[in-house]
Amino acid sequence: MASVHESLYFNPMMTNGVVHANVFGIKDWVTPYKISVLALLYDMTATKITLPERRRLNKLILPLQQGPDLTLGQFLKTVEECCPQAAYAVKLRLHEMADGELKDMEYFFSTLPTPFTAFDSEAYKTSVVGLFMRHMLLAYNKLSFSQVYKLYKSLQHYYHSHYAKPADGQAGLPALAADDSDMDLTSTEDTVGDRMDKEELDGPLHESELRNDNNPSRGPLSQKQAEYFLARQAYLLKNDENKALKPAALQEELNNMLKFNPDFAEAHYLNYLNSMRVQDIFLSAHSLLHYFDRLILSGNEGKSNGDEGYGRSLRYAALNLASLHCRFGHYQQADLALQEAIRIAQESNDHVCLQHCLVKLFPSSDPLTSCRCSSRMDGWFIMPQLIPPHLFYLASLGIQSLVQQGATQGKTAHKLMDALKDTDILHWKHSLSELIEISLAQTTSIWRMYGKSTMALQQAQLLLNMSSLEPVNFGVQQNNTEAFAVALCHLAELHAEQGGYKHRLGLLSLSEILLHLKEQFPPHSQHAKLWMLCDLKIQFERHMNEGKYHLAEPLVTAISALNKTEGLYRKAQVLKALNRSTEAYSILQRLQAHCEKTKCTEVVIRVMLSTAELHWESSGFSTALPLLLQALALARQHHLQSLASESILHLAFTQLMLGVPEQALSVLHEAIEPVLAHGSVMDKGRALLLTARCQMAVAGFRPNGHGRADLHLAVLAVDTLKEATAYFSKLSCKERLRDVHFLQAQLHHALGQTSQRNKSAMLFRLLDQELQSPAPPVSMRL
């Protein structure tokens, strides 16, 4: 019966109802590793060591004292690198103790130089070494008889487990090798069970347990080791998830750790982080709350409101809960938790926490919240110089979010850039690398939005090539932030626009960028959606350009899963391309209404352009005009250059169709420059094609090839077409190539260049055969 055995149980660690991990208030415990360090220190003070070696050893002392417990092998190796002689001495001393009797260990402790007597040695009472020695002596003296015995046992185990395995240090001590056979017998008491297990129970039943027992790393970790492990994993999770343990493996480690020490609260926190990785809301919420329940205990030093004490952890508990809900997209819940955190922080005058809370409000993707806080921030937007110094972090974030808002609402560009510049000064002054990254990514986005691809490219490259200001730990730089993801996505899209699908000299290919994104941000991670959408968009564009509409269609579903508006827009585009105009039209109408409500200007303009294209198909060129003018006005108002030039192209085409090619040509002149400078390859091709057609129209060509033509202009048109061919062939946009060849053939015919005409005609014929679909009248598309 359970109660029979457990009635014996008595827990001395518990005083005042609280289980103290630490009975005597001693931070340090004597462990076999510490004894080895002591032996090293002792030998350093006792023996003569050459100066360079001593210097190297001195440098080693602090990391050895403060670091996690090492195995004997690791320890000896480290020491050996500095001074083989000292390593040998330590080994000898340990050997004396481990293979001797208990009295040898006791003797060792009694011979340690007492820091109070040795005035001139390193072990003087106030020195680092002396302090450590005093700690150890105190801790040792407080041990009870049975604890001393246990310490001795574990020292033996520590020493012998090093020799049980073939160790690299063995050669240095040949005398000891002979003893190994004896040691095996004494040391491996608890592995005997293992062996029996293996022999007796190879059945499938206990495999899991066996695996645990056999793996040496499974053993319980010491406090320091555990802390180190947790710190490392947490750091890796934050900075480079791929280098951290896999979620399942990490979970297993943590379970193991918690099994051995349920009081180890930090493990719960890591558990929370780990569960977030696999999107397990139940477990992560549970671990988070558990962690903070635990934390509240450890930090209860009376003060409930001050900077320390558990009032503080309460605030952060609420804050963390908010971020948890935010991460899982429960914005309402997150808002409530955040309000709670803010209220507690305000009540206890904790501006640091308050700052964190408010900061948390900004990036939350809930449009409502971010709207509200940016209005709160409006005052600061005007005078960033007057911000109190401890709030600059908050202020910069506020400005950044305001800039974002301002950009979408059509604030003037110079104001935005000014604001960003001001905050940048602040960031650099305080070396806030995180904010610098965000700021750069934001600038990239803004330039892209304005349609200045060169500037965007430059900013993205700047961010990616910038070396982080943060200290680099564990060989990992923090580069899995959202800023990096955004910059990389922009880079990918820019590459795609320039037709960089395949590897080209000196430039990263698109697929390489995407591959990097996929590695850096695994699909389950927080920012993975960014590149997923980006990838899908690029693929979609590519299929559309190549005229493979059936391939583009399934992508629409995927896009809508990630971004509904974008998905709808793409759907309309596919429908339009498939000549299902009515459906496309209704979708576009719906989309326009929705976007005007949510103030998505970019999409509104694009929708207008698409609608105008639909009008063309029904030859409603004059009805398309007002729409296009409206789009142009909107684009100009919001400084969206690429969209503005796109509108102009549409406008020119409409004019061409309405029979005023001269007008069209003059309008085109306005747009051709920015398009060639910043536009995508597709845009460039289209613009040139349109120009050529305008030129032909002005020159007096008729589609049927009759009439008299202005030969000078015709030659110009030939050149333009040739250029357009280059662009289109880069994208392998065959339908348009076919059009171009058709026009080329006509021009050459008119110019009387028969061989070239025949060549163009042949190309046209080849493409026409390949495409199979009947060629639409050339006139009908831009």
Partner 1 sequence: MKMAALCSEFGDLVQIKKQLISVISLCKERGLLHSAKWASELAFALDRLPKDELPPSPPFTEDDAQDLDALTLAKSYFDLKEYDRAAYFLKGCCSQKAYFLYMYSRYLSGEKKKDDETVDSLGPLEKGQVRNEALRELRVELSKKHIAGELDGFTLYLYGVVLRKLDLLKEAVEVFVEAIHSLPLHWGAWLELSNLVTNIEMLKSLSLPDCWIKDFFMAHMYTELQMIKEALQKYQNLIEAGFSKSTYIISQIAVAYHNIRDIDQALALFNELREQDPYRIDNMDTFSNLLYVKSMKPELSYLAHNLVEIDKYRVETCCVIGNYYSLRSQHEKAALYFQRALKLNPRCLGAWTLMGHEYMEMKNTSAAIQAYRHAIEVNKRDYRAWYGLGQTYEILKMPFYCLYYYRKAHQLRPNDSRMLVALGESYEKLSQQVEAKKCYWRAYSVGDVEKMALLKLAKLHEQLNESDDAAQCYMLYIQDIFSCGEQLEHAEVSTALRYLGQYYFKNKLYDEASLCAQRCCDYNDAREEGKALLRQISQVRDQIETPSADLFAPLSNNNTPVRRVSPLNLISFTP
* Chain contacts with partner 1 (rule: CB under 8 A): 1-14, 16-19, 21-22, 29-31, 143-144, 146-147, 150-151, 154, 190, 193, 196-197, 200-201, 205-206, 209, 220-223, 226, 259-264, 285, 289-290, 293-294, 296-297, 300, 310, 314, 317-318, 321, 333, 336-337, 339-340, 343-344
Shortest CB 426 distance to partner 1, Å: 34
What does the DSSP assignment read for 432-498? -HHHHHHHHHHHHHHHHHHT-HHHHHHHHHHHHHPPPSSPPBTTB----SHHHHHHHHHHHHHHHHT
Alpha carbon 742 to its chain's center: 49
Specify the residue, 13 or 762, whose C-beta has the smaller distance to partner 1.
13
Helix 367-382 to helix 392-409 angle (10° resolution) is 110
**Is the torsion defined by CA of 547, 548, 550, 555 positive or negative?**
negative
Residue 636: count of CB within 10 angstroms of its CB: 14
374-408 per-residue burial string, b: 16 or more CB within 10 A, e: under 16: beebeebbeebeebeeebbbbbbbbbbbbbbbbbb
* Residue 300 or 526 having the CB closest to partner 1: 300
How many Cβ atoms from other residues are within 10 Å of residue 318's Cβ?
22
Nearer to partner 1, 12 or 389 (CB): 12
Nearer to partner 1, 27 or 414 (CB): 27
* Owner of token pair 């305008």: 694
Shortest distance, CB of residue 187 to partner 1, whole angstroms? 15
Are 450 and 640 in contact by the 8 Å Cβ rule? The answer is yes
Nearer to partner 1, 16 or 465 (CB): 16
Tokens of 187: 């040391």
3-state SS assignment for residue 735: helix
Rg, C-alpha atoms of the chain: 36
Q: Find the shortest distance in angstroms from Cβ 143 to partner 1.
A: 8
Distance of closest approach, residue 631 Cβ to partner 1, in angstroms: 43
Q: Cβ of residue 68: shortest distance to partner 1, in angstroms?
A: 12
Nearer to partner 1, 16 or 385 (CB): 16
Nearer to partner 1, 335 or 437 (CB): 335
- Least CB distance from residue 218 to partner 1, whole Å? 12
Report in angstroms how near the CB of residue 259 gets to partner 1 at its nearest: 7
Least CB distance to partner 1 at residue 59 (A) = 28
Q: Residue 209 Cβ, how far from partner 1 at the closest point, in Å?
A: 7
Output the 3-class SS for 158-199: HHHHHHHCCCHHHHHCHHHHCCHHHHHHHHCHHHHHHHHHHH
Closer residue to partner 1 (CB): 33 or 764: 33
Nearer to partner 1 by C-beta: 126 or 144? 144
Residues in Cβ contact with 630 at an 8 Å cutoff, skipping those fewer than 6 apart: 608
> How are the residues of the chain apportioned to helix, strand and coil, as percentages rounded to the nearest 5?
75, 0, 25
Which run of H or of E encompasses 126? none
Closest to partner 1 by CB, 155 or 767: 155
What does residue 302 show for φ and ψ, rounded to 5 degrees? 85, -60
Quick one: DSSP state of residue 19?
A: E
584 burial type by CB count under 10 A (0-12 exposed, 13-18 middle, 19+ buried): buried
User: Which residue matches tokens 């080895």?
Assistant: 36
Q: Cα separation of 83 and 149, whole Å? A: 32
Q: What is the C-alpha to C-alpha distance for residues 340 and 344, in angstroms, rounded to an integer?
A: 6
Map residue 575 onto helix, strand or coil: helix
Closest separation in Å from C-beta 70 to partner 1: 16
Phi-psi region of 775 (alpha: psi -120 to 50; beta: other; left: phi over 0): beta
User: Shortest gap between Cβ of 433 and partner 1 (angstroms)?
Assistant: 33
Distance of CA 539 to the CA centre of its chain: 23
CB of residue 199 vs partner 1: minimum separation in angstroms? Answer: 9
Select 3 or 773, whichever has its Cβ closest to partner 1. 3
**Among candidate residues 419, 384, 391, 387, the one with its CA nearest the CA of residue 403:** 419
For residue 345, the cross-strand partners are none
CB of 36 to partner 1, least distance (A): 16
CB of residue 312 to partner 1, shortest distance in Å: 12
Name the residue nearer to partner 1 (CB basis): 300 or 509: 300
Nearer to partner 1, 120 or 200 (CB): 200
Q: Quick one: 99 or 197, whose CB is closer to partner 1? A: 197
Cα(501)–Cα(486) distance, rounded to whole angstroms? Answer: 19
Specify the amino acid at residue 517.
L
CA distance 463 to 632: 32
